[in-house]
Amino acid sequence: VPDPFAATGLTYDDVLLLPGYSDFAPAEIDTSSRFTRELELRTPLISAAMDTVTESRMAIAMARQGGIGVLHRNLSVEDQAYQVDLVKRTQTGIISDPVTIGPDATLEELDTRAGQYRISGFPVVGADGALVGIVTNRDLRFTPAAEWATTRVRDVMTPMPLVSGPAGISREDATGLLRQHKLERLPLVDDAGRLAGLITVKDFVKSEQFPKASKDAQGRLMVGAAIGYFGDAWQRATTLIEAGVDVLVADTAHGHVRLLLDMVERLKSDPATRHVQVIGGNVATRSGAQAFVDAGVDAVKVGVGPGSICTTRVVTGVGVPQITAVYEASRACKPAGVPVIADGGMKYSGEIAKALVAGADAVMLGSLLAGCEESPGETVLANGKQYKAYRGMGSLGAMSSRGKTSYSKDRYFQAEVTSDDQIVPEGIEGRVAYRGPLSAVAHQLVGGLHQSMFYVGARTVPELQQQGRFMRITQASLQESHPHDVQITAEAPNYHG
Ligand code: RVP
**Max Cα–Cα distance, the chain, nearest Å:** 86
Q: Identify the pLDDT of residue 381.
A: 92
Report, in angstroms and rounded to the nearest whole number, the Rg of the chain calculated over CA atoms: 25
Provide the pLDDT for residue 121: 86
DSSP annotation of 122: E
Q: Minimal CA–CA distance to 395: which of 423, 421, 353? A: 423
478 — pLDDT class (breaks 50, 70, 90): very high
Q: Is the CB of 394 under 6 A from ligand 1?
A: yes
Q: What is the pLDDT of residues 361-391, one digit of tens each?
A: 999 999 999 999 999 999 999 989 999 999 9
Rounded to the nearest 10 degrees, what angle do helices 438-456 and 350-358 cross at?
Answer: 60
- Residue pLDDT, tens place only, 205-247: 777 788 899 999 888 899 999 999 888 899 999 999 999 999 9
Picking from 478, 259, 257, the residue whose alpha carbon sits closest to that of residue 354 is: 478
Task: Give the residue-averaged pLDDT of 351-363.
Answer: 98
Check if 363 has its Cβ closer than 6 Å to any atom of ligand 1. Answer: no
Q: What is the pLDDT of residue 405?
A: 53
Q: What's the mean per-residue pLDDT of the chain?
A: 92
What is the atom index within ligand 1 of the atom nearest the CA of 425?
19
pLDDT at 42 over 90: yes
Count of CB atoms within 10 A of residue 472's CB?
11
* Percent of residues, the chain, with pLDDT higher than 70: 98
Cα distance between residue 222 and residue 340, in whole Å: 19
Ligand 1 pocket, residue 309 CB under 6 Å: yes
Distance CA 47, CA 332 (A): 24
> Which of 70, 71, 310 to probe ligand 1 with, by most ligand atoms within 8 A of CB?
310
Which helix (H) or strand (E) is 440 found in, with range? helix 438-456
Q: What is residue 92's predicted lDDT score, i.e. its pLDDT?
A: 60
- Between CA 239 and CA 251 the distance in angstroms is 17
Q: Is 345 in the pocket of ligand 1 (CB under 6 A)?
A: yes
Amino acid at 122: F
Query: Residue 463: in which H helix or E strand, if any?
Result: helix 461-467
CA distance 312 to 335: 30
CA–centroid distance, 308 to ligand 1, in Å, is 6
CA 103 – CA 124 distance, rounded (Å): 6
pLDDT of residue 6: 87
When mean pLDDT is compared across 5-9, 164-168, 254-258, 349-353, the lowest value belongs to 164-168
Q: How far is the centre of ligand 1, averaged over its atoms, from the C-alpha of 73 (Å)?
A: 14
Mean of pLDDT values over 84-113:
85
CB 217 within 8 A of CB 240: no
Give the pLDDT confidence score for residue 299 in this predicted structure: 98
d(CA 442, CA 375): 13
Assess contact for 39 and 246: CB atoms under 8 A. Answer: yes
* Residue 480 annotated as part of some ligand binding site: yes
The answer to whether 446 is annotated as binding is no
In this predicted model, what pLDDT tens digit does every residue of 113-171 receive, in sequence order?
A: 888 877 888 999 998 889 999 998 888 888 898 999 999 999 999 998 889 998 878 77
Distance CA 317, CA 311 (A): 9
Ligand 1 pocket residue status of 312, Cβ below 6 Å: yes
Residues 6+ apart with CB under 8 A from 371: 387, 388, 390, 432, 433, 434, 435, 441
Which one is predicted more confidently, 35 or 161? Answer: 35
Helix axes 233-243, 77-88, angle to 10 degrees: 20
pLDDT in tens, 271-314: 999 999 999 999 999 999 999 999 999 999 999 999 999 999 99
Residue nearest atom 2 in ligand 1 by C-alpha distance: 366
Answer whether 359's CB lies under 8 Å from 330's CB: yes
Fold agreement (12-90+214-481, 97-201): no
Class of the CATH-defined domain 97-201: alpha beta
pLDDT at residue 402, rounded to an integer: 58
Map out the domains of the chain as residue ranges: 12-90+214-481, 97-201
- Ligand 1 site-directed mutation target among 393, 395, 409, 426, most atoms within 8 Å of CB: 393
Please compute the mean of the pLDDT values over residues 41-68 and round it to a whole number.
97
- State residue 404's pLDDT score: 47
* ipTM at complex level: 0.99
Q: What is the spatial distance between Cα 480 and Cα 474, in angstroms, rounded to a whole number?
A: 10
Where on the phi/psi map is residue 487: left (φ > 0), alpha (ψ -120 to 50), or beta?
beta
Q: Name the DSSP letter for residue 422.
A: G
> Is CATH 3.20.20.70 the classification given to domain 12-90+214-481?
yes
CB–CB of 71/333 below 8 Å? no
Whether 53 is in the pocket of ligand 1, judged by its Cβ within 6 Å, is: no
Query: What residues are paired with 343 via a beta bridge?
Result: 364
Supply the residues annotated as catalytic.
310, 411
Q: What pLDDT is recorded for position 283?
A: 98
Output the pTM of the full model.
Answer: 0.84
Share of the chain above pLDDT 90, in %: 74
**Which residue has better confidence, 445 or 111?**
445
Long-range pairs of 204-208 with CB within 8 A, sequence gap ≥ 24: 204/93, 204/171, 204/174, 204/175, 204/178, 206/64, 206/91, 206/92, 207/91, 207/92, 207/93
